[in-house]
């Protein structure tokens, strides 16, 4: 979803952090999820041209996104992708994995900014786009 949005906007993005992302080669055993994502095509060549940095968070116990399949796909499609693996985050939401917070994401958001530790306690502005409200941490 985010990848399609980026291509549609055709705007250079400093950093994309995908959390448990779907892709066109994904095998999911849930009919409701399959029908929702049917027809998604990721043009990895276009995406790569529009991204400075690409990070993916995936979990080994995600019941919807098979870990090895996702890891293999993203490493092939996006050669420079940084994959952050977790053991126990499920699908990174409360319903599937009981994840209500993801403090680890701040390390990757802040890493591209020129932010000193003293500024971490003040207000910072980050543009965030999400396709799921339960993934805004």
What value does the mean pLDDT take over residues 84-89?
Answer: 92
The pLDDT tens digits for 107-130 are 887 775 555 555 555 555 556 655
Q: What is the pTM of this model?
A: 0.74
Phi, psi of 77 (to 5 degrees): -75, -35
| Distance from C-alpha of 10 to C-alpha of 78, rounded to nearest angstrom | 18
The pLDDT tens digits for 5-58 are 788 888 888 888 888 887 666 666 655 555 555 566 677 888 889 988 899 999
| Distance from C-alpha of 106 to C-alpha of 84, rounded to nearest angstrom | 13
CA nearest 92: which of 53, 131, 36, 47? 131
Report the CATH number of the 2-130 domain.
Answer: 3.40.50.1820
Q: Is residue 73 a contact partner of residue 83, using CB atoms and an 8 Å limit?
A: no
Q: Domains of the chain: which residue ranges?
A: 2-130
């Amino acid at each position: 979803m985010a990848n399609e949005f980026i291509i549609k906007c055709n705007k250079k993005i400093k950093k994309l952090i995908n959390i448990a992302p779907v892709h066109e080669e994904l095998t999911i055993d849930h009919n409701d999820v399959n029908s929702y994502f049917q027809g998604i095509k990721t043009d990895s060549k276009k995406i790569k041209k529009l991204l400075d940095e690409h990070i993916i968070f995936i979990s080994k116990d995600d019941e919807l996104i098979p870990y090895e399949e996702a890891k293999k796909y993203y490493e092939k499609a996006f050669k420079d992708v940084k994959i952050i693996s977790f053991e126990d985050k499920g699908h990174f939401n409360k319903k599937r994995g009981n994840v209500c917070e993801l403090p680890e994401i701040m390390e990757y958001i802040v890493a591209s900014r020129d932010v000193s530790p003293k500024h971490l306690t003040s207000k910072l502005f980050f543009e965030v786009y999400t396709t799921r409200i339960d993934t805004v941490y």
